[in-house]
Chains A and B, each alone.
Chain A
Amino acid sequence: MNYMDYLKTQDFPLFWCGGCGNGAVLGAIVRSFAALCYSKEETVVVTGIGCWGKADDYVTTNSFHGTHGRALAFATGIKLANPKLQVVVLMGDGDGVTIGGNHFIHAARRNVDVTAILVNNYNYGMTGGQYSGSTPLNSITSTSRYGHIEEGFDICQLAIAAGAPFVARTSSDDPLAMQRFITAGLNKKGFSLIEVIAPCPTHFGKNNGMRNAADLMKWVKERSISVARAHTMNEEELALKLIMGILTDTEREDYGSKYSRVIAAAQEGRRDIK
C-alpha cells in the first residue's frame, strides 16, 4: 500500500496552522498503516474534539468523530464489538488527559487492544490557547496570564501507572521515531500509547516567547533525554526533562482476549475462567 491511499488529499490543504506538528504526526500514522498493509475497511480512526480531533477529516479509512474526551470510550465499544478491527484513537492533551482523563486511565487499566496517539501541544489550541492538564508550571496561556500555578501531567507516566503495556514518547520533528513507535504500538496486542510532543506556535509558543515552531522544537530538544540517559540520572536531575523513547513494553493479556475466556466459561457452565 502507498501511504497516500490513506489520505483524503482532495480535502488538502490541512487546516492546521503553519508550524503545527499535527500534519507530521498524521504523515507518520499513514506511513505506519502502509507499512503494515492495513485494510481501510478494517481500520477505524476514532477522534475526539480539538485541533488534532480534526484529523479524521483527512483519512480514507473508517472514522468515528465523537465528543470531547470520549474517544477512548467509543473506541472501547468498537474494538470489543469487532475484535478484527484495527482501532486507532487520536487525541490531544486537552482531549485525552484533561476532560478525558478518566477514560484514559481506565482504558489503560482495562487494557483494551487499541492504539492511542496523543499529540501534546501543552494547551487548547482550537479554543484559543487556554491551559490544559499537561501545561507546564509557570506557563503563560490565555487563562493563566499571571503564570500557570498547576503542574502538568507526565502523560506517559500516567499511562504506565494505569497499566498500559506499551508506552512511548517522541516529538513531531522526529518522523522516523514517530513511525517506529506508532508501528510498534499498532502491532502491540493491548493498550498502547504514543505521546507526540508537538509545537503550537500560534498560542503556546507565542504566549511563552517562542514565536515560531523552530523555537518550540528547540525548547523541546533542550529538555529531551533518551531512556538510556534517564537511567543514569537522579530524580532531581530528571525534573522537567522529557524522556523520549519506548518507556514501557510489557506483555499483558488484553480485555478482549480475556473476555473470550469469560464467554467460553459461561457457555460451558463453568464459574472459573482459567
Chain B
Amino acid sequence: MTLKKNIFAMGNEAITEGALAAGARFYAGYPITPSSEIAERSSIRLPQLGGMFVQMEDEIGSIAAVIGASAAGVKSYTATSGPGFSLMQENLGVAVMGEIPCVIVNVQRSGPSTGLATKPAQGDVMQAKWGTHGDHGIIALSPSSVQECYDLTIRAFNLAELYRTPVILLADEIIGHMREGYCPHLPKEIIERKKPLCANRDYKPYDFCGEENEIAPLAAFGSEYITRINGSGHDESGNACGRLDNADKFIRHYHEKFQKNRDDIIETKSFDLQDAEYAIITFGCSVRSGKAALKLARQKGIKVGLLQLVTIWPFPYEQVAKICEQVQGVVVPEMNLGQIQGEIRKVCPTHCSLWGINRVDSQMITPYEILAKLEEAAI
C-alpha cells in the first residue's frame, strides 16, 4: 500500500475519490441533497481520467444508465438520498435480476417522502434490503468516518464486481458532509469482473452452476461474446424463460449467492469487547456517539464494548449473536425507530436485555444519551 498524504475533506468527496480509485469511470445521477457533492465532484474528476459523467432526467434514468454502462464493461456508480433512492428501487431490481455490478451511494436523510431535506437520518436500512420487490439478497455497507467513506466505496466496487450485484453504500448526511482527515491510499486490492474463457458459442451469462462462488462470468457488450442481459425471468443464456423450475432456481440464486459468501462479505469492527458486560451495537454516524459513550462509560467503571456493523446486509447475525451471548445487555443507538434493533432481536438470547436509543428528530444521538442507558442498565 502506497501511502499518500492526509487530506482534509468531506465524506462525499472521499466517496467520489474512492470510486475513482476503485476504477469507476461512469457516473449518472440526479442532484439531491445531501449527496450532490458526489455528482459535482464526479463531473469534474471523471473527464480528467477519461471517464464520463451524465446528469439524467431523474433517478430512474440515472440508475438505468449506470446499469447500461456497467453492462458495457465500465465500472459505474450513482449517488442519491431518500427520495431518489425510492425512485431507484425499480431498476435496482434489474441490477439484481440481471446480475449487473454497480454501486449506489445513498447519503441518507430524514424521511418519509421529502422529509426534512437537509437533515440526517438512518431510516433506509430496510429499504436498502427490501426496497425493490421480490426475494433477493443485497450488499449494503455503512461508513462512519471520512476514511471509511473512501475505503468502503472501494470495497463496494470490489464486492459488486466479485458477486455481480448492486452494492449500496449506506452513508448518511452527517458522514457525507462531515470534514476530517483521510488518506486516499492506493487500494490494496482492485477486483475486476470475471470474464468468460469459453468458446464464443458456449457463453451463457447466467450459467452460475459450478462457477467459483457460484458467480457466472460476465462479458461486456462489445466483447467477442454475445451477451444477453435480461431483467425478466430468464434461463442461463439470458433468454426469456417462464419455466417454473427455472424461476425457482434463479430466485433462490439471487438470495443464496450472498448467504454462501457471508464470511467474505460481512465485516464488523470490535472495540473493547473482550471483557465487556454490555455492548453498543450500531452503524454509520451513530458509531461516533457510541465510541464516545464507550469511553465515558469505561471511565465510570462500566465494562462496555462496541460492535460496529460495517456490513449491514447481509446482516451480521453470527457476529451479533456471539456478542449477545457474551454480554448482559445491548444498546442499539440508531437514527430510526429500531430497524437494526429488530434484526438483533432475531438472534438475541433471553438473558441479554436489548435497548434501543432512537431519534427521528434529525438530531444526532449524543454520547450522553447512550451513557445514561448504560448507567441505568449497570445499576
Contacts and interface: CB of A to CB of B under 8 A. Distances in A.
Interface string B58-69: 101110111111
B74 A82 contact: yes
A84 B229 contact: no
Interface stretch (A67-75, A127-135, A148-156, A165-173): A67-75
Nearest to B63: A73
A211 to B, nearest CB: 29
A110 B54 CA distance: 10
Contact of B56 (A41, A54, A106, A259): A106
A82 B222 contact: yes
Contacts of A102: 57-58, 61
A82 B56 contact: no
A70 B70 CA distance: 16
B226 A62 contact: yes
Interface stretch (B117-125, B190-198, B231-239, B369-377): B231-239
A109 B238 CA distance: 32
Given A40-B226, A41-B225, A267-B48, A64 B71 contact: yes
B189 interface: no
A65 B74 CA distance: 19
Nearest to B58: A102
B76 A81 contact: yes
Interface in B65-85: 65-74, 76
Contact of B65 (A54, A76, A262): A76
Contact of B228 (A54, A62, A66, A77): A62
Given A65-B232, A102-B58, A77 B227 contact: no
A70 B71 contact: no
A94 to B, nearest CB: 16
Contacts of A84: 222
B48 A266 contact: yes
Contacts of A61: 226
Nearest to B50: A263
A71 to B, nearest CB: 8
A24 interface: no
A80 B64 contact: no
Nearest to B224: A41
B60 to A, nearest CB: 6
A174 interface: no
A77 B73 CA distance: 11
B91 A66 contact: yes
B221 interface: yes
A102 B30 CA distance: 14
A103 B28 CA distance: 14
Contacts of A259: 47, 52
Interface residues of B, number: 48
B28 to A, nearest CB: 6
B50 A65 contact: no
A57 interface: yes
A78 B72 contact: yes
A103 B57 contact: yes
A103 B61 contact: yes
Contacts of A62: 221-222, 226-228
B225 to A, nearest CB: 7
Interface in A75-106: 75-82, 84-85, 102-103, 105-106
A215 interface: no
A82 B71 CA distance: 10
Chain A CB within 10 A, most for which of B62, B67, B98: B67
B91 A81 contact: no
A60 interface: yes
B127 interface: no
Chain B CB within 10 A, most for which of A57, A82, A103: A82
Interface string A25-69: 000000000000000111010100100001011001111111100
Contacts of A110: 54
Contacts of B48: 266-267
B326 interface: no
Given A42-B222, A262-B47, A265-B47, A81 B231 contact: no
Contacts of B62: 73
Given A57-B240, A62-B227, A82-B73, 15 more contacts: A62-B228, A66-B67, A70-B64, A77-B66, A77-B76, A78-B71, A81-B52, A81-B73, A81-B74, A84-B222, A85-B72, A85-B221, A102-B58, A102-B61, A106-B57
7 contacts: A41-B225, A62-B228, A64-B221, A74-B94, A76-B54, A77-B69, A78-B72
Q: Name the 5 nearest CB pairs between A and B, nearest first.
A: A77-B68, A77-B65, A73-B64, A266-B47, A81-B69
Interface of B: 26, 28, 44, 47-48, 50, 52, 54, 56-58, 60-62, 64-74, 76, 90-91, 93-94, 98, 220-232, 234, 238-240
